[in-house]
Amino acid sequence: MKALRINFQSSKPIYQQLYDQIASQIINQDLVKDTKLPSIRTAAKELRVSIITIKKTWEMLENDNFIYTIAGKGAYVQDIKPSKLSIKKDVVIEDDVDDIIKRCKSIGITKSELVELINKKYK
């Protein structure tokens, strides 16, 4: 697993930051099927966050079928078929897109202005 980075200044919760990074590594196949994730305690210690934060991250990853857990053994990367990858990409980015749309609406940015801004920044 590539190093995970936590931005303690971000408004995004730590568990969501970790979820996004691990899910991205799985989607990009940096983490392949059956790769064992660190234990909850080990990850919490290494990242200097609470066990509850890691537990929530692992639960979210499992609920979205990025990982599976074997009792007493640990958590492992799920086998994701190529045909399911686009769905997984949507899952990872969906909340961020919703937040951006809400913010844009609150300050009066239209859909076409947002699309224009995305096209400009995406380059």
pLDDT tens, 30-83? 999 999 999 999 999 999 999 999 999 999 999 999 999 999 999 999 998 887
Name the nearest CA neighbour of 62 among 40, 95, 82, 83.
Answer: 40
Q: Which fold has domain 1-80?
A: Arc Repressor Mutant, subunit A (1.10.10)
Share of residues in the chain with pLDDT > 90 (%): 79
Q: Give the separation between CA 71 and CA 85, rounded to whole angstroms.
A: 27
- pLDDT for residue 113: 95
For residue 38, the surrounding DSSP H or E stretch is none
Residue 88 has pLDDT above 90, yes or no: no
Domain locations in the chain? 1-80, 85-123
Asked if residues 46 and 38 have their Cβ atoms less than 8 Å apart, the reply is yes
- pLDDT for residue 57: 98
Q: What is the pTM of this model?
A: 0.79
Sorting pLDDT into bands at 50, 70 and 90, what band is 13?
very high
Phi and psi angles of residue 23, each rounded to the nearest 5 degrees, phi first: -60, -40
